[in-house]
Amino acid sequence: MKIIIHGGFFSESSTNSETKIAKQQALSRIAKQAYDFLETHTAVEAVVYAVSLLEDDALFNAGIGSQIQSDGQIRMSAALIDGSTQKMSGVINIQDVKNPIQVAAVLQSYDDKVLGGEGATAFARSHGFDYFSTEIPQRRQEYEAKLKATGTGTVGCVALDKEGKIAAATSTGGKGFEIVGRISDSATVAGNYANPHCGVSLTGVGEDIVGNATAAKIVTRVTDGFSLKDAFDKTFAELALHDGFAGAIAIDHNGNMYHQDSHPSMVFASFDGENLRFFQ
């Protein structure tokens, strides 16, 4: 069993050591909690659990603490993919829901698996997800001061369970001040993808990730016989041709874990029951 999570990029590391330490501690704690959960649950259930914990932590730009768009509203996106069944479900630009990844999980059992905007929010309400404002004072202050965010905040998780099954989940609160209606990579196969061979979750600039089809490329290359490292190297080399901004975490079916970013530094943590690794 293996689990790896990410909390987006950390642009504050050079100026705010307290925030850096807090994120390190949060990711380490959540990685261990998610691993404990994975011991008695499937990979799909574990990635939803881990991403929900990340959505509930205002340190990260997903769920609580999501960025505010140009019209003063928060819209979030999230996706879940079961590597064994290849079923992907997601919500795009959903509003006023505490845990978008849990709405994505409910959609796994529906024929229409990806919903957007008002339809996604209405679906959530009809399935017991109550109104919940994910805005925190810090985000409102940033918005009112017109402080442009870095555009690199997303959370994600990839898990390999005891049966050898892989799942990936990703959730984002957007880049902040974006045009209303913008769609990020998080609820696409460019930002969140898995099959029986590999699972990948991305963070970074959504447009760069989609243009490079990053997650799908990595997974496809591992499926075709590339090592996880070689799949990352080739895919990130292609991303670099256009100065793409992205970071990724992955697990393959042999239990190998890997992470890479194009511009330092993506925050991450991984745990295999014995060894904890995290961004420092």
Task: State residue 14's pLDDT score.
Answer: 44
Neighbours of 235 (CB within 10 A): 26
Please list the pLDDT of the chain residue by residue as tens digits (280 residues): 999 999 998 754 445 678 888 999 999 999 999 999 999 999 999 999 999 999 999 999 999 989 999 899 999 999 999 999 999 999 999 999 999 999 999 999 999 999 999 999 999 999 999 999 999 888 888 777 755 445 457 999 999 999 999 999 999 998 888 899 999 999 999 999 999 999 999 999 999 999 999 999 999 999 999 999 999 999 999 999 999 999 999 999 999 999 999 987 899 999 999 999 987 6
The CA distance from 146 to 197, in Å, is 44
40 assigned to active site: no
Please name the residue that has the structure tokens 């799909």: 44
The CATH code belonging to domain 2-278 is: 3.60.20.30
DSSP per residue, 35-89: HHHHTTS-HHHHHHHHHHHHHT-TTSSSSTTPPP-TTS---EEEEEEETTTTEEE
**Strand-pair partners of 66:** none
Angle, helices 228-240 vs 214-223, to 10°: value is: 150
Task: State residue 226's pLDDT score.
Answer: 98
- From 121, 134, 152, 154, the catalytic residue: 154
Parse the chain into domains and list their residue ranges: 2-278
Angle, helices 17-38 vs 43-55, to 10°: value is: 150
What is the 8-class DSSP label of residue 264?
Answer: S
The CA distance from 2 to 139, in Å, is 34
Provide CB contacts within 8 A for 124, sequence distance 6+: 91, 94, 97, 103
pTM score: 0.93
**Strand-pair partners of 268:** 6
Neighbours of 213 (CB within 10 A): 19
Phi-psi region of 108 (alpha: psi -120 to 50; beta: other; left: phi over 0): alpha
The CA distance from 252 to 257, in Å, is 7
